[in-house]
């Protein structure tokens, strides 16, 4: 690794309980670090231990639904009333029941598109290659190993101190990876 390239610690554990305990202890002892966890299955309580927030996608999904529904209804109303009014059998040009089905469909489409885009952006995707893939040990993250990544987040982060603290957790291995 070059000196200018930021480094993170990849810490390997044999069980979900060890990972869960380590995440909590590192989070309390190293406040200036960002912690990520990888496991082959969902570990109950890991989200709370990591401090994960679940509030990014829902507002964007609502915005997409509003943009899709209101925008489609407004477009239909404008085109039927002002832009190209047609008198069909004496019906009013602003016949709202005819505008509802397309507006409803675009509401669902807008919510889905905005929700998926918010999820992708929130997850930092698409990212075709992640530096963790270069770590040989990380190949077992999808089968039988549990990993924690500790990286600098604040200005006062001490990488050597973090390494020593992680060694006190008795992991299977600790590797340095680029970010």
Structural domain contains residue 113: yes
Same domain for 118 and 67, yes or no, is: yes
Same domain for 49 and 65, yes or no, is: no
Please give the C-alpha separations between residue 35 and each of 27, 80, 138, 150, in angstroms, as whole numbers.
Answer: 7, 55, 16, 5
What is the span of the domain harbouring residue 150? 7-53+130-178
pLDDT tens profile 113-147: 999 999 999 888 888 888 888 888 888 888 889 99
- What's 137's domain CATH number? 3.30.70
The pTM is what?
Answer: 0.70
Please give the C-alpha separations between residue 105 and each of 37, 76, 100, in angstroms, as whole numbers.
Answer: 38, 13, 9
Structural domain contains residue 2: no
Structural domain contains residue 1: no
Same domain for 118 and 62, yes or no, is: yes
pLDDT tens profile 143-168: 889 999 998 887 777 888 888 888 99
Q: Domain ends where: 85, 105, 122? A: 122
Q: How many domains does the chain have?
A: 2
């Amino acid at each position: 690794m070059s000196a200018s390239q930021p480094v993170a610690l990849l810490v390997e554990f044999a069980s979900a309980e060890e990972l869960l305990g380590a995440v909590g202890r590192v989070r309390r002892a190293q406040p200036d670090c960002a912690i990520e966890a990888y496991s082959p299955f969902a570990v109950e309580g890991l989200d709370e231990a990591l401090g994960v927030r679940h509030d990014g996608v829902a507002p964007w999904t609502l915005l997409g639904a509003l943009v899709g529904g209101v925008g489609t209804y407004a477009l239909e109303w404008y085109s039927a009333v002002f832009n190209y009014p047609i008198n069909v059998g004496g019906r009013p040009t602003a016949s709202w029941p005819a505008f509802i089905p397309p507006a409803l469909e675009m509401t669902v489409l807008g919510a889905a598109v905005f929700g998926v885009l918010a999820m992708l952006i929130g997850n930092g995707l698409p990212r075709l290659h992640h530096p963790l893939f270069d770590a040989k040990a990380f190949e077992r993250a999808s089968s039988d190993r549990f990993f924690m990544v500790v990286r600098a987040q604040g200005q006062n982060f001490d990488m050597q101190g973090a390494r020593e603290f992680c060694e006190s957790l008795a992991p299977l291995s600790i590797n340095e990876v680029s970010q």
